[in-house]
Amino acid sequence: MEGILKNLEQFAEVLAVSRSKHVSDWDSQTVERAFQWAAYFKHIWNRSRTNVVVKQAMEARLKQINSELSNCFDYFTFISFDNLGHSEEILFVSLLTNNALSKSAYERVLVLLKQSNAVSDVLDSIAVLSSKKATCHVLFRACVGISKRCSFIEDPFVKTEADLLLDCLIDRMEMSVPLADCSPFLNEVLGTIPSEYLNRLLLTIVRNENSKFLPAVEMVVNWLIGNRCQMRYFCSSQECKVLCELVVKHNAFKTAYLDLLVEWARDMEYDISCAEWISTKCSDVSWKGLVEHFNTLLEGPIEITKETKKLLRTLKVEDGDMDVCGVSVWTDLFCAVHTVL
C-alpha cells in the first residue's frame, strides 16, 4: 500500500506539470511515460473504489499532496480520488490545452488520443473549457459599452468571474481541503488583481445570495478582512448603505468594519483653522464621511443600531466624557450623530 501512495505522489506531480509552463521540457518519451502512469492509476482506481480502507488511505494522501503542490504550482488544480478514474482523459485535456507543450510532444499526444477510447470525452471536455473562455471574452467585450453608472452587481463579466471563483473554492472544500490551504490560492488569484477591479469583484462575491456559495463567500470575506490595505480601500470606496448590508450578513465583516471606523476616528486631529477633524495618516475618509458611516449604521437594523450606540458611548466615556467640542473626537462624533441617537 505504501508503494501505491508513493507512486500517487509522483503521478500527482506529473498532472501538475502537465498543466504548467514546465511541460515545455517534455519530449515524446516523457509523454508516453505520463500516460503509462495515467493508465496505471485508472487501473488502481477500478480495483480500489469499493475498498473503503484503500480509498480512505488514498484520499488522505491526496489531501496532503494537494496542500503541498498548491504551494509549488500557480493555479494548481486539486486532485480527488474520483479524478483517478479519469486519469487519461484529464491528462489529455491538460496537455492539449497547454500552449507550453512542444510541437513534437503535442503530436505524440494526438497519436495517443487517436489510439485511445477517450476521444469523445476529451473533445467534450475541451469544448466546455473553450466555451467558458469564449463566454468570458464575449462578456468582457460587451461590458466595454456598459455605462459607468451600471451597478457592479449588473456587470455580467464581473458576475461570471465571481461565480467561477466561488465554484473553484467550493470544489476545493468538497475535497476536504483545509481552509488555511485555500489562503495561498486566494492570495495568488486576488492578490494580483488591480484594486479598483478587485473591489468590484469582491462586492459581487460578498453580496452573493446563493446558499450553495455561502461557505466560499465567507472564505472570501475572511480574506478581505485579513488584508488590511484592501479592507480600507474597499470600505472607503463603497456606499455606506452597501457596507451596512454586509455588516448585517457577515458577523466577521461587522467586527472588522467597526474596528476600521474606530481606527479612522483615532487617526484624526482637530484643525482649529477650519474647525473640523482631519485625518493625520491617510485620506481614506473625511470627517463628514466618517459621520455618514456611523449614521448609516445607526439607521440600520435594531441590533446593529444598539451595538453602534454602545460603542460610541463607551469610547466617549473612555476618552474623558468631554462636553467641549474640538477636544475629543468621540465627543464631537457623538454630537454629530446625536439626532440619530
CA atoms within 13 A on the CB side of 254: 16
Q: Is residue 64 part of a domain?
A: yes
Q: Among 112, 129, 145, where does a domain finish? A: 145
Residue 50 resides in a domain: yes
Q: Give bridge partners of residue 278 from the DSSP assignment.
A: 269
Look up the domain containing 136 and give its range: 1-145
Rounded Cα–Cα distance for residues 217 and 202 (Å): 9
Q: How far is CA 225 from CA 197, 222, 285, 335, in A?
A: 17, 5, 18, 29
- Please give the share of the chain, as a percent, with pLDDT higher than 90: 25
Could you tell me if 158 and 141 lie in one domain? no
Does 2 reside within a domain? yes
Q: Are residues 53 and 99 in the same domain?
A: yes
* 8 Å CB contact between 232 and 239: no
Same domain, 6 and 132: yes
Q: Tell me which of 145, 162, 180 is where a domain ends.
A: 145
Do residues 47 and 119 share a domain? yes
**Lowest mean pLDDT, pick from 7-21, 89-103, 306-320:** 89-103
Query: How many CB atoms lie under 10 A from the CB of residue 151?
Result: 10
Q: And the C-alpha cell for 340? A: 440619530
Whether 124 and 162 map to the same domain: the answer is: no
Considering the domain architecture, whether residues 224 and 106 belong to the same structural domain is answered as no
Q: What is the CATH number of the domain that holds 285?
A: 1.25.40.490
- Residue 266 pLDDT greater than 70, yes or no: yes
- Nine-digit cell string for 257: 468594519
Average pLDDT score over residue span 218-228: 90
Between CA 170 and CA 216 the distance in angstroms is: 6
In a shared domain, residues 328 and 253: yes
CB atoms within 10 A of CB 32: 13
Residue 25 lies in a domain: yes
Find the helix or strand (DSSP H, E) in which 277 lies.
Answer: strand 276-279
Determine what percent of the chain falls in helix, strand and coil, rounding each to the nearest 5.
75, 0, 25
For residue 312 the three cell numbers come to 460610541
Whether 230 and 330 map to the same domain: the answer is no
Q: What is the dihedral of CA 116, 120, 126, 132, to 10 degrees?
A: -160
Examine the domain organization and report whether 248 and 221 are in the same domain. no
Judged against a pLDDT cut of 80, whether residue 315 lies above it is answered with yes
**Angle at CA 166, nearest 5°, toward 160 and 170?**
145
89 located within any domain: yes
What is the rounded end-to-end Cα distance, in angstroms, of the chain? 68
In a domain, 341, yes or no: no
pLDDT of residue 150: 44
Residue 177 lies in a domain: yes
Q: What is the pLDDT of residue 338?
A: 64
Q: 22 with 131, same domain?
A: yes
Residue ending a domain, choose from 237, 264, 289: 237
Tally of structural domains, the chain: 3
pLDDT digits (tens, 9 = 90+) for 270-292: 888 788 888 877 667 888 999 99
Count of CB atoms situated within 10 Å of the CB of 48:
18
282 and 225 belong to one structural domain: no
Q: pLDDT over 70 for what percent of the chain?
A: 80
In this predicted model, what pLDDT tens digit does every residue of 16-75 receive, in sequence order? 899 888 999 999 999 999 999 998 988 988 888 888 888 889 888 888 888 788 777 765
The residues that bridge with 276 in the sheet, in sequence order, are: 271
Same-domain pairing of 282 and 231: no
